[in-house]
Amino acid sequence: MSTRDELIAIASTYLFQGLLEHKPDEVLFAEDCVRMEMGWETGGNAQQLRELLAGDAYLANKAITDLVWVVEDPYVDARFCLELHGMDVVMRIATRFRIENGEIKHIEILFNGGELHSLIMQATEPLRTDL
């Protein structure tokens, strides 16, 4: 069993090294990690997720604010606002991580993109691996 701080540190690699710092190789993914966004599977393994995080779409991410953690091993929930460069829109995001053996095994993302919501949903459709 991991401590609360250890679980948060593991999940934080996705938020900070992955989403903000554009260092996907530092994210602690399990090799078979699956990512779901708004009910769609948008990543089925560590290599695919690292490639996605290295893409241009994530360069717009500016800052994470109002971050709140809820931890119940093996689950770590992060609720936060994501600020984007050059936009007044703030995305509200809820992300659940399942941590196993010190790695992120599963990610479930729900978000409200405000004015950008429908655009983001259209942009993520080609990432779906469940079609």
Q: Using one digit for the tens of pLDDT, what is the confidence trace for 73-124? A: 999 999 999 999 988 878 899 999 999 999 999 999 998 866 665 665 565 5
Q: Using one digit for the tens of pLDDT, what is the confidence trace for 52-73? A: 999 988 899 999 999 999 999 9
Q: Using one digit for the tens of pLDDT, what is the confidence trace for 14-25? A: 999 999 999 999
Q: What is the residue extent of each domain of the chain?
A: 4-127
Does residue 45 register a pLDDT over 80? Answer: yes
**Secondary structure in 3-state letters for the chain:** CCCHHHHHHHHHHHHHHHHHCCCHHHCCEEEEEEEEECCEEEECCHHHHHHHHCCHHHHHEEEEEEEEEEEECCEEEEEEEEEECCCCCEEEEEEEEEEECCEEEEEEEEEECHHHHHHHHHHHHHHCCCC
- Asked if CATH classification 1.10.150.670 holds for the domain at 4-127, the reply, yes or no, is no
Give me the chain's average pLDDT, please.
89
